């Protein structure tokens, strides 16, 4: 990981709600109900559930999640009209290795 990428990740994590989202996604089964269609968390958590739990507007959460995905912290998967997000553990590991 280079300094520029690590700095972008640091910026993404410099917000309490974004940090909370990362914490929630660490244990999705503990923090969210499974989506009624998929019934599992293999592809992550439905964006709608993240937005509801955060209690913020759809546009704010969308901006947060898009930025987190762009800097590599999240992986997005689409099933029909639903988007699911999960942590990118590989990038998180590289980031923590870089800063330690």
Global pTM value: 0.91
Distance CA 92, CA 90 (A): 5
CATH of the domain at 17: 1.10.10.10
What tokens does 96 get? 């923590």
Structural domain boundaries, residue 75: 3-99
Q: Please give the chain's pLDDT, 100 residues, in tens.
A: 999 999 999 999 999 999 999 999 999 999 998 777 777 788 899 999 999 999 999 999 999 999 999 999 999 999 888 899 999 999 999 999 999 9
The DSSP result for 5-43, as a single string, is HHHHHHHHTSSHHHHHHHHHHHSHHHHSPPPTTT-S-TT
How many structural domains compose the chain?
Answer: 1
């Amino acid at each position: 990981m280079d300094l520029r990428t690590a700095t972008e990740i640091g910026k993404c994590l410099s917000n309490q709600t974004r940090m909370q989202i990362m914490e929630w996604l660490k244990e999705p089964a503990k923090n969210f109900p499974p989506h009624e269609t998929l019934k599992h968390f293999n592809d992550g958590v439905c964006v709608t559930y993240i937005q509801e739990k955060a209690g913020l507007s759809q546009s704010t959460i969308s901006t947060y999640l898009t930025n987190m995905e762009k800097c590599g912290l999240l992986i997005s998967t689409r099933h029909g009209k639903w988007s699911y997000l999960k942590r990118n553990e590989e990038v998180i590991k590289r980031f923590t290795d870089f800063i330690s």
